[in-house]
Structure 1
Amino acid sequence: MRKWLIPVGIIIVIIVIIGFWVVGIKNTALKHNQAVSKEWGNVETTYQRRNDLIGNLVNTVKGAADFEKGTLTAVVEARAKATSITIDPSNVTPEQMAQFQQAQSNVSSSLSRLLVSVEAYPQLKANENFLKLQDELASTENQILTARTRFNEQVQIYNGYVLSFPNSMFLGGSYPEKPYFKSVEGAEKPVEVKF
């Protein structure tokens, strides 16, 4: 009479072990997903810092020089467009990432034109506030690079986990693959500097 309890007990133990294993897979995927979201928050924070510095830089340039209005307008418009694009890191798509990167690329491009135009204004180049803002901007660009690199590293860990077998069987579509930051179009070409 008790002999039938042994196979039933073994089956129940096996089901419990498999259940804990599946829960462990889902919890680890959740942990990796949260790490990606955290790193995305760091990326957004560094871009926000750059946007804040750009406002100060534009105001300093306006106050210190009779400046080319088109360049300042381009910087302000690019900054406004970049801040209007938001991404939910838990549902980020390659298209959203491309749109975000394009907007940030436009900010970088217009900011570069602004800094090149400043060369024609010696009193502005010597302005202590301007020099400090320029240094802060360079530091922020390095922080952006670091944040994007860390984001990509975390995406690699996440994607490797959720796409590997057998994890992908148990996670289904609830943890989709996340896109990486990629270089902007034409970044592989060297920058031509003319004097």
Structure 2
Amino acid sequence: MQQVNILFLTIVLLTISTRASHYRGGSFSWTIQNVSNNSITNQTNIPARITQRHSWRRSLGKNHFCDKNAIASSGLIGEGELIGSIFTQNTIPTKVQCTDFNEQFDYSSREISTLVTVPMRNIIEYAYQGCCWIALLPPETGSAMNLIVELQIGNVHLIRITRADSDGDHLRCRWGRSEKNECGSICSPKGLLKADPCELTYNAT
């Protein structure tokens, strides 16, 4: 697909060093909008659609609470923003209409797609900037979030990380980079991460 060869868009998550409380994580994806080959040749910019999804602790307060009434009335939840490296669309708000919630696991979520115009033949980065990630700690430490993966001590484990892309683009994995402020206080984690396929080898000895 020709569009893939002329535009590189990198989307990362930024962790902020702060007291964790209510941000439960999120994901981003992007697609190039349909344009003709002739218009690509004659243009310096191209339309792209950024899709983002975030979740927060539902019980925190009204800015993060979602229920059926909030969905029906298009209630806004969330905080923070997407920070971009291009002047034409350098910020995208993340406080938007809630789309779903879960009472048992105490989270509210929302998803939105935004059309942006980006320059061709450039490397472009978008990153979520906000605060208050819930700590990935065992329950006995007081965290409201359990471990994502439980491992048996004394064994070497292979953890396969699921990847998906809406239009079939090839995806690879990497650790967050401290020089780009992508991993806060948890840079240089233990384990061997394979980029493709996305697999984490962890020695729990």
- TM-score, length of structure 2 as denominator length: 0.26
Structure of greater relative contact order (alpha carbons < 8 Å, 6+ residues apart):
1
Q: Which has the higher strand share?
A: 2
More helix by share: 1
- Structure number, greater radius of gyration: 1
What TM-score, normalized by structure 1, do the two folds share? 0.27
